[in-house]
Structure 1
Amino acid sequence: MPRIIRVRDNLYATAFTLMKLLPARYIIDKAEATGVVTPGTPIIETSSGTFGLGLAMVCRLRGYPLTIVGDRAIDHDLRKRLEMLGAKVEIVEDEGGPGGIQGARLARVEELRRAAPESFVPQQYSNPDNPAAYRVVGELIAQALGTVDCLVGPVGSGGSTCGIASSLRLSSPGLHLIGVDTPGSVIFKAPEGPRVLRGLGNSLVPGNVTHSAYDEVHWTTPGEVFHATHELFSRHGLFMGPTSGASFQVASWWAQHNPDRTVVMMLPDEGYRYLSTVYNDTWLREQGITPAPASSGPRLLERPHQVGETWSRLLWGRRSYDEVSGRPSHEEADV
């Protein structure tokens, strides 16, 4: 469970050591309770980040053989930790198929599942137990703070933002939910492309993203996010990862512009995994990234196809995926 920390006047942090441990444990608990998972059942899942790490912890403690299908975003240190916990790690490449690298990973998971039909696949992107796992976090926040006006969090699988918002809206029905994404991600209909920021965004649209839950979407870029990640530690003593920095960047801006509202930002994991990357000047130079604050606030968009290489936002308005136009009209295309 997270710590709830007051960062400034109307801004609070929900700070996790490892947020994805919560849904990993919850999904396995439910599978055990229903008899889907029994002693020795092989577990197969796709992850290149902290969900895989949380799942590896649970499987190690409970004796389940685990295979993690990931891609080259799994850095050396994370892979070593997964293997120390007994997980087998498979790395796949993007062969240009539908869904990009996530699609390739899911295709490999399906191959492994067919070869071992007795196995269990947690399916973090589509399993409703993922968002359900966060109900207790919403209850914790409501108990600590009372009415919450705005929740800000990064969106990858959709489980945490949708799950916590659903729980909070039981006591704060007017809650304003802001999802934080990154250019190149297709979750909210922006153009697909390469993504330097990992842990948020996706090359496919996860089933656990309830688009009609979001009031607003922001797309943040690496230089701004890495600066915000550093600032979160240097100014507030919160040593967190880059998805936390993205959440902090957006939440700080929104809280400043809405000083009479109570804002809660989600900080998914601590920064130790990122010492050789986000907190490493040499790595940043090699990537051609200079951490710097946004020169101004986010650019307001009318449609997702306008997402570019600067911080931008769209008033999503709790619309479904199909209700939001992701392409320019013929008139705009002609111009």
Structure 2
Amino acid sequence: MTETQSIAQPPPAPHIPVPQAEEVYRSVLEATELPRIIRVTDNLYAAAFSLMKLLPARYIIDRAEAAGVLTPGTPVIETSSGTFGLGLAMVCRLRGYPLTIVGDSAIDDDLRNRLQLLGARVELVEDHGAPGGIQGARLARIAELQQEFPESFVPGQYDNPANPAAYAMVGDLVTRTLGEVDCLVGPVGSGGSTCGLAASLRLRKPSLHLVGVDTHGSIIFGPAEGRRVLRGLGSSIIPGNVEHAAYDEVHWVSPAEAFHATHELYRENGLFMGPTSGASFQVASWWAQRNPYSTTLMVLPDEGYRYQSTVYSSSWLDESGIVPVANTDGPHVIEHPDEAGDTWSRLIWARRSYGSVTGRELPA
């Protein structure tokens, strides 16, 4: 090769800027507690949480510390068989509070292991037919432990107003991201997320339409208590944080319908979420399709990894006798909660009180 000859050189690689993080989070709590706002269809958006209950757990602990009722080393005792317990365990581990979780058989082995790895003591109770069902039994055990450890702190997710107040942060995020929201759809368990987020969003748009999603066997909106296969929403007690007069309509969905919607949410949108998210998607997608000029936001409370051996497992579904199936007819419109039956039902609640809708007083 002569000096005048040259070897062809590849063109220089284009400059690709490396994305920079907007901020460095101070802890995993801060990095995890808020949802991603995701556009699903033209007018349907998701507030998709990795672990929604982490937010109220952290907020309740913050408020207790600020009030001086929670000091270093104070035992924390709470009832939970799901994600509130997990969120609380993360907070207590990072801040050094010994934690006891009183739950039931809904705490699967994987969840129990995660709680214990975070240092929580897990105590399971059974339903002996007492008033309030399994949640009543859990609350009764909490009361016993409070007597045994009078210096302890009980977050009380069902009745603590700091639970719904925590979701003002989510309301601010939604408003900055989407502006006004016309309809909010979310599963109802403790009442914190739907009531708290609706209250925040209604500061900007008072006419916001709130749709609560419940399941058969729950007593929150009035039907007789029964067995709840679809856990994570609904309740065998009526939490104090459920503000009935905040809801414009209520839907009851069955496990088969919600499980199908959970699978559909993943298949069609890549959102790998839990069954309460599936229930929310089932109702929200129906509502958004029928109100194409309205902006609909659905709450998706947690990811699906906890449910890989159940809701996402064909063998578990077969053993449970559940065949996930779409309800293509939509909800059956009812006039009273007692008419909810065992398939998808819809009641126009119209921001009325529990008593005015059901004709009964709230249980003591």
Alignment TM class, shorter chain as reference? over 0.9
- Which of the residues 30, 46, 53 maps onto 2:63? 30
Aligned to 1:290: 323
Q: Give CA-to-partner distance per residue, 1:25-57, whole Å, 9 cap, x none.
A: 000011011110000000000000000000000
Bigger shift: residues 290-299 or 50-59: 290-299
User: What's the counterpart of residue 194 of structure 1?
Assistant: 227
Going from structure 1 to structure 2, the CA distance change for 1:130 and 1:37 (only over 3 Å counts) comes to same
Q: Is the contact made by 1:154 and 1:161 (CA closer than 8 Å) also made in structure 2?
A: yes
Identical aligned residues as a percent: 72
* Secondary structure in 2 matching 1:203: coil
- Paired letter, 1:311: W
Correspondence for 1:174:
207
Q: Is the 8 A contact 1:154 1:200 kept in 2?
A: yes
Secondary structure at 1:195 match in 2? coil
1:333 is aligned to: none
1:249 correspondence with 2:282: yes
Partner of 1:159: 192
Match of 1:53 among 86, 108, 124: 86
Match of 1:64 in 2: 97
Cα distance in 1, alignment partners of residues 328 and 87 from structure 2: 37
Structure index of larger Rg: 2
Match in the other structure for 2:171:
138
- Separation in 2 of the partners of 1:287 and 1:308? 20
Counterpart of 2:145 in structure 1 is: 112
Aligned CA-pair RMSD: 0.7
Residue 231 of structure 2 corresponds to residue 204 of structure 1: no
Instruction: Specify the SS of the correspondent of 1:108.
Output: helix
Unaligned runs of 5+ in 2: 1-33
Deviations along 1:163-207, one digit per CA (max 9) or x if unpaired, are: 000000001111000000000000000121000001000001000
Secondary structure at the counterpart of residue 297 of structure 2: strand
Secondary structure of 1:38's partner? coil
1:100 counterpart residue number: 133
Letter in 1 for 2:89: A
CA distance in 2, matches of 1:237, 1:295: 21
Deviation at 1:212, TM superposition (A): 0.4
CA contact (8 A) 1:305 1:326 kept: no
Q: After superposition, what is the alpha-carbon deviation per residue over 1:244-264, rounded to whole angstroms, capped at 9, x for unaligned?
A: 000000000000011111000
Structure 1: segments with no counterpart, 5+ residues: 328-335
Match of residue 260, structure 2, among 213, 227, 235: 227
CA distance in 1 between counterparts of 2:222 and 2:144 reads: 29
Alpha-carbon deviations, 1:211-251, whole Å to 9, x = none?
00000000000011000000101100100000000000000
The answer on 1:85 being equivalent to 2:118 is yes
Q: How far off is 1:134 after superposition?
A: 0.4
Residue of structure 1 equivalent to 2:6: none
How far apart, in 2, do the equivalents of 1:40 and 1:325 lie? 45
Question: Where does 1:4-15 land on structure 2 (aligned, <5 Å)?
Answer: 4-15=37-48
Q: CA deviation at 1:326?
A: 5.4
CA deviation profile, 1:67-113 (whole Å, cap 9, x unmatched): 00001011111011001100000100111111110000000000001
Please tell me the residue identity of whatever aligns with 1:25.
Answer: R
Matched, 1:312 2:345: yes
2:157 aligned to 124, 140, 161, which one? 124
How far residue 295 of structure 1 moved from its aligned partner, in angstroms, is 3.4
TM-score, length-scaled by structure 1: 0.97
Q: Distance in 2 between matches of 1:170 and 1:252?
A: 25
